[in-house]
Amino acid sequence: MNEQDIDRGMKALALVDKDVERALEELGPPPPRPRSKGFETFLKTIVSQQISTEVARVIMQRVSSLMPEITATGLMSVNDQALRDAGLSWRKVEYAKGLAEAVHFGHFDVDGLDALSDKDAIETITRLRGFGRWSAEIYLMFSLRRRDIFPADDLALQVSLGRLKGLSDKPTPKQARDMVAHWAPWRSVGALFLWHYYHGAPA
């Protein structure tokens, strides 16, 4: 989503949600957060699971240096122990090699995700070991730039939505999805704004 998409989406959301309108006046719109699409982004997703951004960056640099190019074939050529020595847990080595094999043997078509519906793309991604619904939704939002995705399992989104709506506690994922149903077809922009609000609004 670029700035134009975000601007259009925020204007639409402000018309249907007074709480968004108020918060938008206070904080302004969120900045774009684009990510590239393809194998490398999926590999980075595995590397970054449950560790800090900085640690993930360092480990990804080490892993990348083991390959002539960051591709499925390149990763398959790397010894498992070398990946472990670079900082990946054995579970993440398993996930990374599984991803590489799925792409290499044609079981997972990264480029083909563009042609799939949101639902089918999420189902395709979550068939990979190590990729849950949240990871799939994040890929659709930031790499495929789909406009109507809401990763309700994200803790920061739950907390931020609870604050925005003046709740005493954060909503459950199901409650969160129900609460933003009227944000369609701009739920990706709404999610982006909630992360913005999480960092900018008082607790």
Query: Where does residue 79 rank: exposed (0-12), middle (13-18), buried (19+ CB within 10 A)?
Result: exposed
- Of the residues 153, 154, 169, 178, which is catalytic? 154
Domain housing 190: 3-30+148-200
The whole-number pLDDT of residue 202 equals 53
Helix (H, G, I), strand (E, B) or coil at 114: helix
Residues 20 and 77 in one domain: no
- In tens, the pLDDT along 88-115 reads 999 999 999 999 999 999 999 999 999 9
Which CATH number does the domain housing residue 182 bear? 1.10.1670.40
Q: Is residue 17 annotated as part of the catalytic site, yes or no?
A: no
**Mean of the per-residue pLDDT values of the chain:** 95
Which CATH number does the domain housing residue 94 bear? 1.10.340.30
Check: CB of residue 79 under 8 Å from CB of residue 72.
no
- In tens, the pLDDT along 169-195 reads 999 999 999 999 999 999 999 999 999
Between 201 and 6, the more confident residue is: 6
Residues 167 and 192 in one domain: yes
Check: CB of residue 102 under 8 Å from CB of residue 128.
yes
Query: Where does residue 29 rank: exposed (0-12), middle (13-18), buried (19+ CB within 10 A)?
Result: middle
